[in-house]
Amino acid sequence: MYNMNPFLIKTYKGPEYFFDRIEETKKLSDAIMNERNLTLFSNRRLGKTSLIQHVFSKLDTRKYHPIYIDLFATQNLAQFAQKVTEVVYKSKLIKENIFFRILGSIGASLSFDEHSGMPKIDLNIVNRQKIIKGLPELFEQLKNNKKHDIILAFDEFQELAGYEEEKAEAYVRTIMQDCPEITFIFSGSKKSLMKEMFASSNRPFFQSTQMMELHEIDKDTYAKEIFSVLNSHNKLYDKDVIYRILEETYCHTGFTQLVLSRVYSESGEKIDDTLFEMIWEDILEENRSISREQEFLLPKLQWKVLVAIAKEEFVKAPLSRGFADKYGLSASSSVARAVKALLDKGLIIECGDLGLRVYNVYILKNLQKLY
Ligand SMILES: Nc1ncnc2c1ncn2[C@@H]1O[C@H](COP(=O)(O)OP(=O)(O)OP(=O)(O)O)[C@@H](O)[C@H]1O
Ligand SMILES: [Mg+2]
């Protein structure tokens, strides 16, 4: 275990590599134990998926059966049904004969991937009505499971808002309402979209779940835990360098972890300033061309606003006269549109009281260096 890089940059691997999130773990676990449906949202790469996996791994398997469904890149209810049926099949929570009867009724069949051997559900997507009518039966069967409490996490749930069917949200909301025996967790990035889905009175999920926003890990807590991990791996380090990494990456977990992983794997004797400078420069260099490419990918004003926000680091009043004058931007109405477009594209994010920030820390630092 001690040879493994303790700074994860992909998936969750266990509590020993998972920093802090003590409060958040408690909050999510409490919701599960009290059968409250919960919506978890934050900007991208802050640790939503990892938190769900962390909490799931701690649940008592004699009482709970957690199911995780990733809706990333699904575009319609047929693809939604496909993901759900595949995961439910693997969970073995429904007797095979019943499962296959439901599959038949929605016009689906099971096959196995010839390379991985993983089960794959093939849907006859021409028959969407059949799929939409048949899927609730699967949930009926799930909730009839008396042995375990079922916890169903839908990750990347914001995808539903873009489904081809207008009624997709209402459809899933009805399933949720019909299954009080199942605890649902809805998780998603695109913070503003998630908030809209669960907090606007004209949307089906309006005020139907407990809302939980994930923020950055507190800097001192993060630092302390990093020190302790480095100590247990017998690695020498300058405390200031660790603090510098946390500050340069704004404690934005996905970005912080990558830098930590690199300084760890490329360190000899000690993690010091020289090593950090070298790796930081490498990472920025690797991101230089995608930073510059934005100029050609974006309309001119969006590009100008993106660079201006990067240079300011955080912008509280993007529509102010001062900001526009400083960066030679046009009328505030067009700046407002540019800001909205950049938010929609995920290139900038809202950071609470601090204001707007360029999402990707490495792109941010590269843009700061432009003319
Ligand atoms: N508490 C933590 N301790 C250590 N590493 C973490 C922690 N939380 C997240 N990570 C790491 O940070 C990265 C991003 O986390 P994760 O994928 O869970 O974020 P996310 O919010 O689900 O992102 P997205 O919105 O892109 O789905 C991953 O590499 C993960 O391993
Ligand atoms: Mg995720």
pLDDT digits (tens, 9 = 90+) for 110-163: 888 888 888 888 877 667 888 888 899 999 999 988 889 999 999 999 999 999
Inside any domain, residue 265: yes
The two tokens of residue 288 are 């230089």
Atom of ligand 1 nearest to the CA of 13: 31
Domain count, the chain: 3
45 CA to centre of ligand 2 in angstroms: 7
Type and span of the H or E element at 227 = helix 219-232
Same domain, 200 and 259: no
Residue nearest to atom 29 of ligand 1 (CA): 9
The answer to whether residue 13 sits within a structural domain is: no
Burial 343-366 (b: 16+ CB within 10 A, else e): beeebbbebeeebbbbbbbbbbbb
- Compute the distance from residue 322 Cα to the ligand 1 centre, in Å: 36
The residues, ordered by sequence, that sit 6+ positions from 60 with a Cβ below 8 Å of its Cβ are none
Q: How far is the CA of 44 from the centre of ligand 1 (A)?
A: 9
Let me know whether 252 and 164 are in one domain.
no
- Indicate if 121 and 249 belong to the same structural domain: no
244-285 pLDDT, tens digit per residue, is 999 999 999 999 999 999 999 999 889 999 999 999 999 999
Measured from the alpha carbon of residue 155, the closest ligand is: 2
38-60, pLDDT tens digit by residue? Answer: 999 999 999 999 999 999 999 99
What is the Å distance from ligand 2's center to 50 Cα? 7
Tell whether the model's pLDDT for residue 307 goes beyond 70. Answer: yes
Residue 270 alpha carbon to ligand 2 centre in Å: 32
Give the mean model confidence (pLDDT) for residues 188-211.
92
Whether residue 12 lies inside any domain: the answer is: no
Whether residue 3 lies inside any domain: the answer is no
Q: What is the pLDDT of residue 145?
A: 85
> Is the same domain home to 46 and 155?
yes
Do 296 and 358 lie in one domain? The reply is yes
Q: Do 153 and 88 reside in the same domain of the chain? A: yes
The answer on 231 and 100 residing in a single domain is: no
Q: Please report which ligand is nearest the Cα atom of 190.
A: 1
Sign of CA dihedral 268, 270, 274, 277: positive
Q: Is residue 25 domain-shared with residue 100, that is, in the same domain?
A: yes
Mean pLDDT of 56-77: 96
- Which candidate, 284, 227, 222, 220, places its Cα nearest to that of 256? 222
Residue 107: other Cβ atoms inside 10 A? 18
100 and 232 together in one domain: no
Q: How large is the average pLDDT for residues 194-218?
A: 95
**In the prediction, which pLDDT does 181 show?**
95
> Domain boundary at 213, 244, 262, which?
213
Tell me, yes or no, whether 76 and 104 share the same domain: yes
Output the residue whose Cα is nearest ligand 1's atom 9.
Answer: 47
Residues 6 or more apart whose Cβ sits within 8 Å of residue 52: 28, 40, 68, 153, 155, 185, 187
* Among protein residues, the one whose CA lies closest to atom 4 of ligand 1: 18
Which amino acid would we find at residue 121? I
Nearest partner of 259 among 189, 348, 361, judged by Cα: 361
- Please check whether residues 318 and 267 belong to one and the same domain: no
Same domain, 318 and 172: no
Q: Is the pLDDT of residue 88 over 80?
A: yes
Residue 90 in tokens: 């693997």
In a domain, 267, yes or no: yes
CATH number at residue 363: 1.10.10.10
Ligand 1 atom at minimal distance to the Cα of residue 52: 18
Residue bearing the CA closest to ligand 1, atom 8: 47
Q: Please provide the average confidence, as pLDDT, over all residues in the chain.
A: 94
Residue 37 lies in a domain: yes
**What span, in angstroms and rounded, lies between the C-alpha atoms of 159 and 114?**
29
Q: 222 in helix, strand or coil?
A: helix
Is the CB–ligand 1 distance for residue 297 below 6 Å? Answer: no
Q: By the 8 A CB rule, do 133 and 94 touch? A: no
pLDDT of residue 117: 85
CA pair distance 153, 187, nearest whole angstrom: 7
Range of the domain at 93: 21-213
Ligand 2 mean position to 44 CA, how many Å? 7
Q: How many residues does the chain have?
A: 371
User: Which of 9, 18, 50 to mutate to test ligand 1, by most ligand atoms within 8 A of the CB atom?
Assistant: 50
Q: What angle in degrees, to the nearest 10, is found between the helix axes of 239-248 and 219-232?
A: 130
As a 3-state breakdown, the chain gives helix, strand, coil percent values, each rounded to 5, of 55, 15, 35
> CATH code at 187?
3.40.50.300
The encoded tokens of residue 217 equal 């890990």
In this prediction, what percent of the chain has a pLDDT beyond 70?
Answer: 99
